[in-house]
Chain A
């Protein structure tokens, strides 16, 4: 057997209260696309950070082409030949593309030379980029390109990609995969982190699966079914959510011609959004991040006010009402950001029930908080939604992502909303909790409520929604029934690869971006 490019032997790293990596060993060969699979919290990020020199392992060692390798800082890792594309893009919005690329290099050439190289390399790999644009004006796919080009200019032997496709449309994913295969042909290795199993099966030849910090399997993903891989990741058998079909009832929520200026400079304006949801129906709204999801949720929840007639609940106009009035009338929301938006991190779960349930659950009497009732309500959520926590006195921050998400979604569902709007209900949530949340949403619709699910996870939407529409640049497409909808059609609805295919069109996109910044 030949010497692997990077061999990891017995790597262990623990944080107070949790062992993130427990005796992890794996090897990445030359010219190989190697998948690193695992749930959130399985220790993928810690492992990758150790390879990139951001985290120092407690014990264990790494070898680079046989020689000991222990980077103390990212620049040492980069000097060895490791480059990394981050999950949450490490870009600087107010800086332009060339400057962003320069910041990721240890010895950048003058900006003008660099800009020329960016143009050249990016076209070579089929990822055209205009070096003069501000990072804040780029789409998610283009932002990722900046990261990839930044890495490629270092001429790396190992490219680490942390969940690269989570923000891309299916067409953009294809373009990315082409680039990755091209890189493999050049003899470079790629460590590909994901939990999307179909992708891994089409792209990678080796997979290392982590669960709770330990390596549970190391295999060829092409020889296994997605289901087998998922069960290795989760450790238990998974049951997909189910629901019986129900004839949709009357229209509960109707939105017509809802427009709203972007509340922030890098936000998205809502343009003439119309939708209607019936009782017993789930409407899925897909779209790549930053196309107006947050703004749409804010407009529906009442955080942003709009024209009074633009939003109607059972025929009653409510565009001018704030969140509390809308809640009282039966329209409830669960925003994307768990900590800081849906829940106050430092407050206990009991206190957090008061944020949205004070009125509907009568947790406040004559201006005073009824603590007993509030605590009872919190306990009810905890038991009904299987929230793993020592009790309702625990601060929201102390809960894991999945458990807190079950809590905040459960808090709304128990209040028996007539219309529930959720944004990214299963983002960053482990598979078991995600399945529970999806099931709860479907049960709610089954009980006669209208549910709107805004999500970037297309598989999720196709699984639970009855109708699907796409949010693109603040505009909402016409809804299509989910039955019979293919991934390719969904991708086209999302704007396809947009301006990404041809270099010439990329500049047209730049002009559009500039126009967008002015509005």
Chain B
């Protein structure tokens, strides 16, 4: 029998932010990458690499924050492999991204062999004092771990960077028309490599959030499609940071609600939800490969196109 009264909206809203954070981190990183005109389908691989490096380093050092830094570096390192292949060796971005995902899944399984079943050091929640005592708002907004706030800060920073800074304008220009940017004397490759590294770092941090805070444990393949959802989110957010935030929270809400509904006795096979990231990904890939749809969604003009400097 279903008992909806067991679902507490306040708890639900609080859990939603936690569920959304890893996807949000990965999505905001990929958003910057795509704004620079590069399509990196390796988000899932970078995420899980971040998850395992973060977990391993946190367990070894006993400090979760050092683990997160390691996750950032791990994600960025894998992203730089992608950058080397696509920007300097001119490999195909789609194929390389897919390979990166497979590689990341395999590599993480290898590294993580000795860490299954261990608990990581805890990440304390931030103490906001009286703020967290406010009814409803307190538990929803002010009783989280630091990364939840860091992720929101990153969204704001990316928004400001893309919208108001000169470097952000150059990044958008490179993504919009790389030939013109080159003609004006901008270093297309350097901008793109930097963006790819940032995307990897964010994905790595998102992965670490899963293994260190949300779950918190290491299991093989634990990202379970979160990277693909992040990719889809970037498209549905039409490459706008705040929309990505809303989208991530919506998705987090659905995940949490579904869990709650199951707990309340509503029987929907878990497989349906497990399927959804892949369905969504297929849909997004179809959209991305059609020139018309890309235009009407206001995708960056040079997205996924290889850049050869002429002359």
A266 touches B295 (CB 8 A): yes
Residue B135 interfacial (CB < 8 Å) = no
Among B185, B291, B298: residue with most chain A CB under 10 A: B185
Alpha-carbon gap, A89 to B181, bound state (A)? 11
Which of B166, B173, B183 is close to A54, meaning CB atoms less than 8 Å apart? Answer: B183
A264 touches B301 (CB 8 A): no
Q: Which residue of A lies closest to B291 (CB)?
A: A264
Q: Which residue of A lies closest to B302 (CB)?
A: A92
Alpha-carbon gap, A102 to B181, bound state (A)? 12
A91 touches B177 (CB 8 A): yes
Alpha-carbon gap, A95 to B298, bound state (A)? 11
Which of A55, A93, A104, A263 is close to B292, meaning CB atoms less than 8 Å apart? Answer: A263
Min CB distance, B284 to chain A, in Å?
Answer: 18
Contact flags B143-185 to A (C-beta < 8 A → 1, else 0): 0000000000000000000000010011011001101110111
A93 touches B184 (CB 8 A): no
A103 touches B169 (CB 8 A): yes
Which of A54, A91, A95, A264 is close to B169, meaning CB atoms less than 8 Å apart? Answer: A95
Residue B300 interfacial (CB < 8 Å) = yes
Alpha-carbon gap, A55 to B309, bound state (A)? 11
The contact size tier of chain B is: 20 to 34
Which of A75, A92, A108, A263 is close to B185, meaning CB atoms less than 8 Å apart? Answer: A75
Residue B269 interfacial (CB < 8 Å) = no
B185 touches A90 (CB 8 A): no
Contact flags B296-311 to A (C-beta < 8 A → 1, else 0): 1010110000000001
Contact flags B110-122 to A (C-beta < 8 A → 1, else 0): 0000000000000
Alpha-carbon gap, A347 to B298, bound state (A)? 32
B311 touches A55 (CB 8 A): yes
Min CB distance, A416 to chain B, in Å?
Answer: 34
Q: Which residue of B lies closest to A103 (CB)?
A: B173
Min CB distance, B91 to chain A, in Å?
Answer: 17
Alpha-carbon gap, A88 to B310, bound state (A)? 14
Residue A86 interfacial (CB < 8 Å) = yes
B298 touches A94 (CB 8 A): yes
Q: B residues within 8 Å of A by Cβ? A: 166, 169-170, 172-173, 176-177, 179-181, 183-186, 291-292, 295-296, 298, 300-301, 311
Residue numbers in A under 8 Å from B180 (CB-CB): 86, 89-92
9 other contacts beyond A74-B183, A92-B177, with CB at 8 A cut-off? A54-B311, A74-B184, A86-B180, A86-B183, A88-B179, A90-B179, A93-B177, A94-B172, A264-B296
Q: Which residue of A lies closest to B176 (CB)?
A: A92
Min CB distance, A497 to chain B, in Å?
Answer: 26
B170 touches A103 (CB 8 A): yes
Min CB distance, A133 to chain B, in Å?
Answer: 16
Q: A residues within 8 Å of B by Cβ? A: 46, 49, 53-55, 73-75, 86, 88-95, 99, 102-104, 108, 263-266
Which of B173, B186, B291, B292 is close to A95, meaning CB atoms less than 8 Å apart? Answer: B173
Min CB distance, B156 to chain A, in Å?
Answer: 19
Alpha-carbon gap, A54 to B185, bound state (A)? 8
Q: Which residue of B lies closest to A107 (CB)?
A: B166
Residue numbers in A under 8 Å from B172 (CB-CB): 92, 94-95
B296 touches A90 (CB 8 A): no
Alpha-carbon gap, A426 to B184, bound state (A)? 29
B292 touches A90 (CB 8 A): no
Min CB distance, A278 to chain B, in Å?
Answer: 35
Min CB distance, A178 to chain B, in Å?
Answer: 27
CB within 8 Å for A265 and B166 given contacts A55-B311, A75-B185 = no
Alpha-carbon gap, A49 to B185, bound state (A)? 11
B185 touches A265 (CB 8 A): no
Alpha-carbon gap, A263 to B180, bound state (A)? 24
Listed by A's residue number, 17 A-B pairs whose Cβ atoms lie within 8 Å are A46-B311, A54-B311, A74-B184, A90-B177, A90-B179, A90-B181, A90-B183, A90-B184, A91-B177, A93-B301, A94-B300, A99-B169, A103-B181, A103-B184, A104-B184, A264-B291, A264-B295
Q: Which 4 A-B pairs have the closest CB atoms?
A: A74-B185, A90-B180, A92-B176, A264-B295
Residue numbers in B under 8 Å from A263 (CB-CB): 292
Alpha-carbon gap, A108 to B179, bound state (A)? 21
Min CB distance, A114 to chain B, in Å?
Answer: 11
Alpha-carbon gap, A53 to B183, bound state (A)? 10
Min CB distance, B92 to chain A, in Å?
Answer: 15
Which of A73, A94, A104, A108 is close to B176, meaning CB atoms less than 8 Å apart? Answer: A94
Min CB distance, A374 to chain B, in Å?
Answer: 30
Alpha-carbon gap, A469 to B132, bound state (A)? 72
Which of B166, B292, B296 is close to A108, meaning CB atoms less than 8 Å apart? Answer: B166
CB within 8 Å for A73 and B185 given contacts A55-B311, A265-B295 = yes
Alpha-carbon gap, A46 to B310, bound state (A)? 11
Alpha-carbon gap, A264 to B183, bound state (A)? 26
Alpha-carbon gap, A86 to B183, bound state (A)? 9
Alpha-carbon gap, A66 to B50, bound state (A)? 58
Min CB distance, B180 to chain A, in Å?
Answer: 3
Alpha-carbon gap, A74 to B183, bound state (A)? 8
CB within 8 Å for A95 and B176 given contacts A54-B183, A102-B169, A108-B166 = yes
Q: Which residue of B lies closest to A264 (CB)?
A: B295
Min CB distance, B299 to chain A, in Å?
Answer: 9
Residue numbers in B under 8 Å from A99 (CB-CB): 169
Residue numbers in B under 8 Å from A88 (CB-CB): 179
Q: Which residue of B lies closest to A94 (CB)?
A: B176
Q: Which residue of A lies closest to B300 (CB)?
A: A94
Alpha-carbon gap, A104 to B185, bound state (A)? 9
Alpha-carbon gap, A377 to B170, bound state (A)? 50
Residue numbers in A under 8 Å from B166 (CB-CB): 102, 108
Alpha-carbon gap, A203 to B295, bound state (A)? 40
Min CB distance, A16 to chain B, in Å?
Answer: 12
Residue numbers in B under 8 Å from A93 (CB-CB): 176-177, 301
Residue numbers in A under 8 Å from B298 (CB-CB): 94, 265
Min CB distance, B240 to chain A, in Å?
Answer: 12
Min CB distance, B306 to chain A, in Å?
Answer: 14
Alpha-carbon gap, A55 to B184, bound state (A)? 13
Residue numbers in A under 8 Å from B184 (CB-CB): 74, 90, 103-104
Min CB distance, A248 to chain B, in Å?
Answer: 38
Among A54, A89, A99: residue with most chain B CB under 10 A: A54
Among B169, B291, B300, B301: residue with most chain A CB under 10 A: B169
Q: Which residue of A lies closest to B166 (CB)?
A: A108
Min CB distance, B209 to chain A, in Å?
Answer: 32
Min CB distance, B162 to chain A, in Å?
Answer: 11
Residue numbers in B under 8 Å from A266 (CB-CB): 295
Alpha-carbon gap, A89 to B166, bound state (A)? 21
Alpha-carbon gap, A343 to B258, bound state (A)? 53
Residue numbers in A under 8 Å from B186 (CB-CB): 103
Q: Which residue of A lies closest to B297 (CB)?
A: A265
Residue numbers in B under 8 Å from A46 (CB-CB): 311
Alpha-carbon gap, A342 to B172, bound state (A)? 32
